[in-house]
Amino acid sequence: MSIDEKFEAAAEAVKNLTKRPSNEELLELYALFKQATIGDVNTGKPGIFDQKGRAKWEFWNSKKGMSKDAAKEAYIEYVDKLVEKYKD
C-alpha cells in the first residue's frame, strides 16, 4: 500500500471513531491533514475574536517546514494511536 493509500485509509478511519477525540487531538489531526494536503499555512492569522480559527491556524503553523510525505506519515501514526485509544 502506498503512502497516499495509507493516508486516505487513515482519513476514513478517523470518520469512523466511535468516541469524539479531545479538542487538542482534533486540532493535531487538522494540522497534520492540512500540512499533508496543502503544505505550509497559506492564510493570514485569524483575528483575536476568531478563537477557533486562530487555534486551528496556530496548530497548522506549528507544522511549518514539514514535508507533505512526513506529515502524511505523522498523520497515519497519530490516527493509529487514536483508533487504539478510542476503540470500543
SS (H, E, C) 10-77: HHHHHHCCCCCCCHHHHHHHHHHHHHHHCCCCCCCCCCCCCHHHHHHHHHHHCCCCCCHHHHHHHHHH
Could you give the C-alpha distances from 13 to 9, 42, 65, 73, 84, in angstroms and in order?
6, 27, 26, 15, 11
Q: Structurally, what CATH architecture does the domain formed by 3-85 represent?
A: Up-down Bundle (1.20)
Q: How confident is the model at residue 87 (pLDDT cuts 50, 70, 90)?
A: confident
pLDDT digits (tens, 9 = 90+) for 21-58: 999 999 999 999 999 999 999 999 999 999 999 999 99
* Domain ranges (residues) in the chain: 3-85
What does pTM read for this prediction? 0.93
Name the grid cell of 66: 514539514
